[in-house]
A = this chain, B = another copy of it.
Amino acid sequence: MSKFWSDIVHKLTPYVPGEQPKLENLVKLNTNENPYGPSPQVLAALKLEAAESLRLYPDPNSDALKAVIATTHGLKASQVFVGNGSDEVLAHVFQALLKHSRPLLFPDITYSFYPVYCSLYDIEYQTIPLAADFTINIDDYDQPNGGIIFPNPNAPTGIPLALERIKKLLQTNTQSVVVIDEAYVDFGTESAVNLIRTYPNLLVTHTLSKARSLAGLRVGYALGAADLIEALTRVKDSFNSYPIDRFASAGAIAAMQDVTYFGTICNKVVETRESLIKALKKLGFDVLPSGANFIFVKHPLKSGAELTASLRGQGIIVRHFRSPSRIAPYLRITIGTDSQSKVLIEALADLLSEDAS
């Protein structure tokens, strides 16, 4: 606290990301990173950027990157906005498109950065409770609003919402922007990107941190009608002319282009997820349906806090959310490699058998 702070700073409760431990040799299943590294083509492109040209600014508009993303999704470059990770993209989305006289709507259990953005930009919001089975019921959003945002699949549950439901939401909600945050869409959830041509108020956000194995590079993007993108660009150009550095641009371009590698590792993660779910169910866990690279699970005999602490003691890090209380019994487990799954299952089997003995 200081007299030098702007008023807003006193009111902020910043987002707390999952731990990035500095210890080696941990089984790190806490921040939904991909267990596989980026494509070799990405690494080759990145090595070329370590050059004299770093003395020069990057393209402030990231035109080459936008062109590749547009091609990937069958859109025009004017329908693409890029940022320093999808968190930066979302920050601009909140400021540029979601601040209105009516409240923004989002689920009570969702990405916990959303209320933080609202606080940063003084945006009124209202949370809509998930159904008893943790699904999003789009009928609950049929009320006057200044915007709607949720991830699909939702976080931290991993539960996907059928495209048909999103279409229905867009048909009834035409007067405000609907943002579908598709950070995890590539692990088996249907994307809403193809609805962009039909619905001028649909904005879809993606990240290269998950399915494209580039959490360390910080690139995310938004797709939508050109006038939604223009609002984001106006805010970006009033905030930072050059958010995408030369490495981020080159690496992201190569990652979008290597479609084969992308498909292969996404499939591999989905396969590992399905085997892990089977094994956890055998140990008595309840597992929510997942269309993501993580699962949300609880055990009838051990609390989420207890399991998280015990796993940590064995060098396995998963994520636990203390609040809201409805999700406190759960663990969020990132899908790793098959061998990481094996280590996890053995550790959990031990923990549960200690309890039984």
Contact A5 to B97, CB < 8 A, known contacts A17-B242, A242-B85? yes
Complex CA gap A245/B216 in Å reads 6
Q: Does A262 contact B (CB under 8 A)?
A: no
Interchain residue pairs A-B with the least CB separation, the first 4? A37-B52, A14-B237, A46-B50, A6-B99
Q: B243 to A54, Cβ gap below 8 A? A: no
Q: Does A288 contact B (CB under 8 A)?
A: no
Q: A243 to B9, Cβ gap below 8 A? A: no
Contact pick for A246, options B12, B54, B84, B217, CB 8 Å: B217
* Residues on the B chain within 8 Å of A119, using CB: 238
Closest to A9 in B: B231
Q: Does A251 contact B (CB under 8 A)?
A: yes
* Overall SS of chain A's interface: loop
* Residues on the B chain within 8 Å of A3, using CB: 175
Q: B53 to A50, Cβ gap below 8 A? A: no
A180 to chain B, nearest CB (A): 15
Q: A234 to B2, Cβ gap below 8 A? A: no
Contact A228 to B6, CB < 8 A, known contacts A54-B251, A214-B54? no
Contact residues, A177-226 vs B (CB, 8 A): 177, 200-201, 209, 213-218
Q: Does A20 contact B (CB under 8 A)?
A: yes
Closest to A31 in B: B57
A46 to chain B, nearest CB (A): 4
Contact residues, A31-64 vs B (CB, 8 A): 31, 33-38, 42-44, 46-47, 49-60
Q: Does A283 contact B (CB under 8 A)?
A: no
- 25 cross-chain CB contacts under 8 A: A2-B228, A5-B227, A5-B231, A6-B95, A9-B97, A12-B238, A14-B234, A14-B237, A14-B238, A17-B241, A17-B242, A20-B59, A22-B59, A33-B55, A37-B52, A38-B55, A42-B54, A43-B50, A49-B247, A58-B218, A87-B240, A91-B239, A117-B238, A117-B239, A120-B238
